Amino acid sequence: MLLSTLALLVFPAIMIYAAASDLLTMKITNILVLVLIVAFFILAVVVQMPLSEIISNLICAVVILAIAFAFFAFGWIGGGDAKLAAGIGLWLGTGLMLHFAVYAGLLGGALTLFILAIRRWPLPEALRRIAWVDQLHDAKKGVPYGIALAVAAVIVYPMSTIYLHFIPALQAS
């Protein structure tokens, strides 16, 4: 039961860390994305995910990476956001990508509008001393879109193969 609970929480924990990292530093590190990928493959083996589904999820991640890097090339998102989106695609697979994309788009749009709105107002002096708040308020900086990606991923995660594998074990205990 404890191992099932821990396995179930790996993905949300990584998403929380990714969102916090993007908020506080405007960066999502390669190490975080690597942990996300390795955790997927470990849990895919644990839940005995069919090889065909693993390959399908991997193809989904590669397609997302290509699309997201096109967005990065146009300056619409950061490189870390692109890699995070691909890692999320690996976990969720093609069957959940539409759900994820809709949530990510809506949450990302709301986040962007909110940040653009608060950037129009002067930042109180006390908040200027907090580096991450000052950076978030800087109109020359982007929007930490990883927050929207992470929240959207956590919303959709309960429909994923890995999540659904562990729920019966937790309900039985």
Q: Identify the pLDDT of residue 65.
A: 97
Residues of the chain below pLDDT 50: none
- Angle CA 142–78–136, to nearest 5: 25
Amino acid, res. 13: A
Q: How many structural domains is the chain composed of?
A: 1
Q: Identify the pLDDT of residue 173.
A: 61
Q: Which residues contact 38 (CB under 8 A, 6 or more apart)?
A: none
Q: Identify the pLDDT of residue 169.
A: 65
C-alpha span between 15 and 84 (Å, rounded): 9
Please give the distance of CA 40 from its chain centroid, rounded to a whole number: 13
Q: Identify the pLDDT of residue 114.
A: 96
Q: Identify the pLDDT of residue 97.
A: 96
Count Cβ atoms below 10 Å from residue 104 Cβ, excluding itself: 23
Q: Identify the pLDDT of residue 4.
A: 81
C-alpha span between 112 and 52 (Å, rounded): 37
Domain range for 98 is: 2-172
Helix count and strand count (H, E) for the chain: 9, 0
Q: pTM for the full model?
A: 0.93
Q: Identify the pLDDT of residue 166.
A: 87
